[in-house]
């Protein structure tokens, strides 16, 4: 680490520092250029917030708090976005509920069960999942997956008919393109990131804790619940939040399979809409307040995902520091 | 450390030993099942794309244009304009994001160290990777397209914003792996910091940096959302990325996916296969480079 403190520390070598004053111009220029590139990240984030909010201001001004009503009717100049916020929350929740147990299971499989030479190919396969573009998931989702799963929805819906809560969730009306289909596709898409982050977190569990558990005669499951879980639950919470952020912002796959209908319903098998999906589907024909409203949805989405990501990164970072400390 | 090691680990003697073993087996089986649950959709998607796409793909499909209207069958015309557009846009995005990202990472690792500013930038690079791609599209629409019209360059700006934090993070990881004695040896010979970074540190980490950049390119090539409001998806080839609307492979798939016409759907499958092959080739290239050129690994 000594090199890293060199330019800051005046007490590195000898008295009076004639060398420091003669730091060549090129050297200083390089440092300034590098700093500027680093600052670019902060500049872009600030610019995103500023420029999109400015473009959306007419929506915020004309609707006021009515942006949170359930009344989206561009023809009548009504732009209440509650249905999309609801759709985003529901689909992201479905995705997280399905993806998290699977991801944590794979992470545990990779870190605690299989030997290293098997872990590599498994990681490659999970990475393949991440490389399949969003639009390909959407294409497959709408042309292959949705028609196929619509039949399953129908049989589930007839099976739960009359049962109080389940009927409200899984009863009619059913459609292949729905909240639930979007949730499933999003679950496939966030599995790689949740898996790799959980794996990183679990890998920081001190070997001595795990060996101690085994030495006490614990089975692998008991070792995981006793030594791995207490150590990594914080980090895994962070990983889950990051997955949630991804699921909320995922656009194209959701736009294709969610069914594009601005409705709030408890029926998960019914078509709905989400914030990124409605932006992608309706931006082309929008102008004036309509366009401002769609950009405003982007502002809300940016705010939600930034907050979730900041919290998640703080949690993951803290847990990683604990692991290495 | 003491707070986290309170596991109730003594075997519960009231529990039959066989039950403990069974529970353990069940847990292992569940882990394997979760992996299988992920394999199934992956295989299903890849199978569908390959089977439906391979029938469509031919040299003329990849190169000829303009892209025919949705009603036309798939053997008419091709997606040449989209191939050209994707190459233009991704190349421009790479030319912007990779140098800036590498320099940013150099600041984080070589100059900033553990200082507040460097940690802040590092933290927000992580946060920025979570910004939804559609927000990047809206951002570039607001600051660029509204003033300078749709163009391939606007799309490249949006993709570049998505790639920048990814490149910063992967490069930063690689620079961290370069051992300090290499740097110290060069300082001892009287080299300046910039010179050490450019001639010693970067070459030592180049394998990892390139493979990280390739993975970022693979992700960017498949992005649709940031391009929707920046290039405006047209059907004719536009060899000039700096003026006039353009098109790309993912935007063509999006435009065709909801079409009821078989020809349009077939074209979408062929385009999807093209896109997946590009992404996989980039990913495999990244793996090979990591394996062959990385001198320092974790």
Tell me how far the alpha carbon of residue B28 is from its chain's centroid: 32
Tell me whether residue A18 is exposed, middle or buried, using C-beta atoms within 10 angstroms of its C-beta: 0 to 12, 13 to 18, 19 or more.
exposed
Cα(A307)–Cα(B248) distance, integer angstroms: 32
Cα(B279)–Cα(A132) distance, integer angstroms: 8
DSSP symbol at A7: T
b vs e for B44-81, b when ≥16 Cβ sit within 10 Å of the residue's Cβ? ebbebbbebbeebbeeebeebbebbebeeebeebbbbb
Q: Which two tokens stand for residue A94?
A: 């479905």
Could you write out the DSSP letters of every residue in A90-114?
A: HHHHHHHHHHHHHHHHHHHIIIIIS
Q: Give the residue carrying structure tokens 């959709």.
A: B41
In whole angstroms, how large is the CA radius of gyration of chain B? 24
Among the residue ranges A4-8, B70-74, B290-294, the one predicted with the least confidence is A4-8
Cα(B80)–Cα(B67) distance, integer angstroms: 7
* Residue A319 vs residues A80, A198, A232: alpha-carbon distances, Å: 40, 11, 7
- Which residue of A2, A3, A104 to mutate against B (max B Cβ within 10 Å)? A3
Note the pLDDT tens digit of each residue in A284-317.
Answer: 888 889 999 999 999 999 999 999 999 999 988 7
Class for the domain spanning A60-324? mainly alpha
Q: Which pLDDT band, with edges at 50, 70 and 90, does B295 fall under?
A: low
Instruction: Give the pLDDT of residue B8.
Output: 53
Chain-chain contact of A280 with B132 (C-beta, under 8 angstroms): no
Q: Compare B210 and B2 and report the one with higher pLDDT.
A: B210
Instruction: Give the pLDDT of residue A76.
Output: 84
Could you write out the DSSP letters of every residue in B107-129?
A: IIIIIITT-HHHHHHHHHHHHHT
Interface of A with B in 162-181 (CB under 8 A): none
Could you write out the DSSP letters of every residue in B215-281?
A: HHHHHHHT--HHHHTTT---SS----TTSB----HHHHHHHHHT---HHHHHHHHHHHHHHHHHHHH
- Are A257 and A184 in contact by the 8 Å Cβ rule? The answer is no
For residue B11, pLDDT beyond 60: no
For residue A13, pLDDT beyond 50: no
Cα angle for residues A301, B244, A41 (degrees, 5° grid): 40
Nearest residue in chain B measured CA to CA from A120:
B287
For residue B21, pLDDT beyond 90: no
Which CATH code is given to the segment(s) B62-173+204-293? 1.10.3720.10
Report chain B residues whose CB lies below 8 A from the CB of A126: 38
CB contacts < 8 A (A, B): 313
Instruction: Give the pLDDT of residue B5.
Output: 47
Instruction: Give the pLDDT of residue B232.
Output: 85
Tell me how far the alpha carbon of residue A51 is from its chain's centroid: 23
Nearest residue in chain A measured CA to CA from B222:
A133
Q: Which pLDDT band, with edges at 50, 70 and 90, does A2 fall under?
A: very low
Nearest residue in chain A measured CA to CA from B183:
A3
Note the pLDDT tens digit of each residue in B23-68.
Answer: 889 999 999 999 999 999 999 999 999 999 999 999 989 988 788 8
User: Does A303 contact chain B (CB < 8 Å)?
Assistant: no
Note the pLDDT tens digit of each residue in A208-242.
Answer: 999 999 998 888 998 999 899 988 888 899 999 99
Note the pLDDT tens digit of each residue in A232-280.
Answer: 888 899 999 999 999 999 999 999 999 888 888 888 888 889 999 999 9
Q: Which two tokens stand for residue B216?
A: 């970022």
- Average pLDDT, integer, range A95-107: 95
Instruction: Give the pLDDT of residue A300.
Output: 94
C-alpha distance from B150 to closest chain A C-alpha (Å): 13
Instruction: Give the pLDDT of residue B10.
Output: 55
Classify A296 in phi/psi space as left (phi over 0), alpha (psi -120 to 50) or beta: alpha
User: Does A288 contact chain B (CB < 8 Å)?
Assistant: no
Chain-chain contact of A102 with B164 (C-beta, under 8 angstroms): no
Chain-chain contact of B161 with A44 (C-beta, under 8 angstroms): yes
Percent of chain A scored above 70 by pLDDT? 90
Q: Which two tokens stand for residue A48?
A: 């995103």
Instruction: Give the pLDDT of residue A11.
Output: 43
b vs e for A259-279, b when ≥16 Cβ sit within 10 Å of the residue's Cβ? bbebbebebbbbbbbbbbbbb
Chain-chain contact of A249 with B133 (C-beta, under 8 angstroms): yes
Note the pLDDT tens digit of each residue in B281-291.
Answer: 999 999 898 88
For residue B16, pLDDT beyond 90: no
C-alpha distance from B60 to closest chain A C-alpha (Å): 22
Chain-chain contact of B254 with A302 (C-beta, under 8 angstroms): no
For residue B267, pLDDT beyond 70: yes
Q: Which pLDDT band, with edges at 50, 70 and 90, does B13 fall under?
A: low
- B133-140 vs A25-63: helix crossing angle, rounded to 10: 90
Cα(B298)–Cα(B291) distance, integer angstroms: 12
* Residue B84 vs residues B66, B79, B80, B159: alpha-carbon distances, Å: 11, 9, 6, 16
User: Does A161 contact chain B (CB < 8 Å)?
Assistant: no
């Amino acid at each position: 680490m000594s090199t890293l403190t060199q330019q800051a520390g005046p007490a590195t070598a000898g008295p009076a520092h004639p060398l420091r004053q003669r730091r060549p111009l090129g050297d200083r220029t390089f440092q300034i250029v590098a700093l500027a590139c680093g600052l670019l990240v902060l500049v872009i984030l600030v610019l995103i917030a500023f420029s999109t909010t400015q473009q959306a201001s007419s929506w915020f001004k004309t609707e006021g708090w009515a942006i949170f009503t359930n009344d989206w009717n561009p023809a009548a100049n009504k732009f209440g976005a509650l249905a999309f916020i609801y759709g985003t929350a529901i689909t992201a929740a479905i995705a997280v509920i399905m993806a998290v147990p699977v991801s944590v299971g794979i992470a545990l499989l990779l870190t605690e069960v299989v030997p290293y030479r098997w872990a590599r190919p498994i990681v490659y396969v999970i990475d393949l999942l991440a490389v399949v573009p969003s639009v390909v998931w959407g294409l497959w989702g709408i042309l292959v997956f949705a028609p196929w799963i619509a039949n399953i929805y129908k049989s589930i819906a007839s099976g739960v008919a009359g049962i109080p809560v389940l009927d409200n969730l899984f009863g009619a009306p059913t459609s292949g393109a729905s909240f639930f289909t979007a949730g499933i596709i999003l679950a496939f898409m966030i599995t790689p990131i949740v898996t790799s982050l959980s794996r990183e977190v679990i890998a920081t569990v001190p070997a001595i804790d795990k060996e101690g558990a085994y030495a006490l005669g614990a089975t692998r499951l008991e070792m995981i619940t006793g030594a791995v879980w207490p150590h990594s639950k914080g980090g895994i919470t962070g990983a889950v939040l990051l997955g949630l952020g991804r699921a909320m912002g995922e656009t194209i796959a959701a736009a294709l399979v969610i069914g594009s209908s601005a409705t709030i319903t408890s029926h998960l098998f019914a078509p709905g809409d989400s914030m990124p999906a409605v932006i992608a589907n309706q931006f082309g024909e929008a102008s004036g307040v309509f366009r401002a409203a769609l950009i405003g949805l982007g502002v809300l989405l940016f705010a939600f995902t930034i907050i979730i990501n900041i919290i998640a990164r703080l949690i993951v970072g803290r847990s990683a520091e604990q692991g290495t400390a | 450390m003491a707070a986290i090691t309170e596991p109730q680990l003594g075997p519960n003697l009231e529990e039959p030993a066989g039950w403990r073993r069974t529970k353990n087996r069940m847990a292992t089986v569940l882990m394997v099942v979760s992996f299988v649950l992920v394999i199934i959709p992956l295989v299903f998607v890849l199978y569908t794309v390959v089977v439906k796409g391979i029938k469509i793909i031919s040299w003329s499909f990849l190169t000829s244009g303009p892209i025919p209207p949705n009603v036309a069958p798939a053997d008419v015309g091709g997606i040449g304009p989209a191939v050209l557009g994707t190459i233009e846009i991704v190349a421009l995005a790479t030319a912007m994001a990779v140098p800036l990202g590498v320099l940013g990472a150099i600041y984080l690792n070589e100059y900033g160290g553990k200082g507040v500013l460097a940690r802040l930038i590092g933290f927000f690079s992580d946060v920025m990777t979570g910004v939804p791609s559609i927000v990047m599209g809206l951002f570039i629409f607001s600051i660029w397209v509204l003033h300078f019209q749709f163009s391939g360059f606007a799309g490249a700006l949006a993709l570049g914003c998505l790639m920048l934090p990814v490149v910063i993070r992967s490069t930063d990881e690689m620079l961290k792996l370069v051992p300090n004695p290499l740097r110290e040896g060069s300082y001892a010979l009287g080299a300046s910091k910039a010179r050490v970074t450019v001639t010693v540190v970067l070459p030592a980490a180049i394998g990892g940096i390139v493979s990280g950049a390739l993975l970022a390119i693979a992700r960017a090539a498949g992005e649709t959302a940031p391009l929707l409001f920046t290039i405006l998806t047209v059907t004719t080839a536009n060899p000039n990325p700096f003026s006039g609307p353009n098109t790309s492979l993912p935007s063509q798939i999006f435009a065709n996916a909801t079409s009821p016409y078989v020809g349009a759907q077939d074209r979408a499958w062929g385009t999807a296969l093209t896109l997946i092959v590009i992404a996989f080739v980039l990913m495999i290239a990244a793996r090979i480079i990591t394996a062959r050129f990385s001198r320092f690994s974790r």
